Amino acid sequence: MKFHFEILIGDRYEATDYLSDDEVHQSLLKTQKQDILKAEMGDEYWEDIPDELFELLKTSIKAKKYDFTMDGGHLWLNIEIQIDNE
């Protein structure tokens, strides 16, 4: 399933429009649940994502399985997360 996350990144008081790929990755590794402003999947969205989705997100970030855009300290992360339906 493809998800789109809006995440605050970098210095919240001096927002930047650019960080290197490595700086983005290092910041994403430190992401806390409260840094995620919104998660979207198709027509659905959550402002408070479930813990299980957050853990799957962190696993995908560690594996560098994402692409992103940045603007004004906000990062839009596009990621495909496999969710098992048991």
**Residue 8 sits in which domain range?**
2-39+46-80
**If pLDDT is split at 50, 70 and 90, which confidence band does 12 have?**
low
In the chain, the number of structural domains is 1
Position 22 in a domain: yes
Return the structure tokens found at 38. Answer: 């919104």
pLDDT(63) > 90: yes
For residues 31 and 6, is the Cβ–Cβ distance under 8 A?
A: no
Position 85 in a domain: no
Give this prediction's pTM: 0.80
Position 52 in a domain: yes
Q: Smallest Cα–Cα separation from 39: which of 52, 58, 24, 54?
A: 54
pLDDT(29) > 90: yes
Position 64 in a domain: yes
For 31, residues 6+ apart whose C-beta sits below 8 A from its C-beta are 7, 9, 57, 58, 61
